[in-house]
Amino acid sequence: MPGLGCTSADHETQVEIAQPGQYRRKRPQVECMQGSKRVVDNAHRHPPRSFRILDVAKVATLIAITMSDPKSSDYMNGSCFCGLIKWKADVSKITLSAYCHCTFCQRTTGGPYVHTTHHPSSSISFTGLEHAQSSEWKPRKHKKRCGECGAPFASYSMDRENWSVWSSGWQRDHDGMIIGWERIRPTCHQFAGTMQMSVKELGELPVYEGYEGKSKRLDQN
């Protein structure tokens, strides 16, 4: 300003909260000496601007939904609880989708049953599998659990070269629903001899003593 001795007091751009979900930049102020008084030269200040912070989680979910649209792809994605181990499966190659009530599934997951989908090894791929803990819970069948979060996510049969994936790990949308659920929906209940609920509680799906189509059906006279 003419006639004033002006010095730049703060040329660094800082950020302060303006209101929830928004930020406003602090503008540099130029302090000027007018006699013995220090004044702020408002002419050097710029109009305040603000921008809204994007909800990164929602954006990521929308991208995931778009990439995993069951109408446009045969593939579905999943992971363990912490995400260290991930998988991608061609769900058009699934050989079985069922609620399993066997004692192995009950005792290794802590639930009364699990929803399992069976995949030929050629139709599913994993990343981070080196972080999995493996235990032989049946001859030549190994249960897999994440070594970091501890979540059980699958088992592998060496004889059949087949993966059994538990549905809790499939990718979900922002409402918590499995993306592509209609493509892996269970078709029956199996190993009902050790089920921890009544047939009436199971709904309308057929109930088998063992595997579907290979054992006695229990919900028919």
What would the pLDDT profile of 63-83 be if each residue is shown by its tens digit?
554 454 544 579 999 999 999
- Yes or no: say if 177 and 63 are a contact pair by the CB < 8 Å rule: no
Residue with tokens 């979910």: 61
Start-to-end CA span in the chain (Å): 98
Which residues contact residue 36 at a Cβ distance below 8 angstroms, ignoring those fewer than 6 apart? none
- The domain ranges of the chain are 5-52, 71-202
- Local structure of residue 110 (DSSP, 8 states): S
Quickly tell me which residue has 């000027």 as its tokens.
32
164-204 confidence digits (pLDDT tens): 999 999 999 999 999 999 999 999 999 989 998 776 677 77
pLDDT surpasses 80 at 55: no
**What is residue 131's predicted lDDT score, i.e. its pLDDT?**
96
CA–CA distances in Å: residue 141 to residues 169, 180, 204: 20, 28, 31
Residues across the chain? 221
Number of Cα atoms under 13 Å in the Cβ half of residue 64 = 20
Tens-place pLDDT, residues 85-124: 999 999 999 999 999 999 989 988 888 999 999 999 999 9
CA-based nearest residue to 203, from 116, 108, 119, 113: 113
Give the pTM.
0.61
SS3 (DSSP) at 56: helix
Q: What pairs with residue 143 in β-bridges?
A: 135, 155
Of 214, 157, 170, give the one whose Cα is nearest residue 190.
214
H-only helix segments in the chain: 56-67, 103-109, 181-184
Cα 110 → chain centroid: 21
CATH class of 71-202: mainly beta
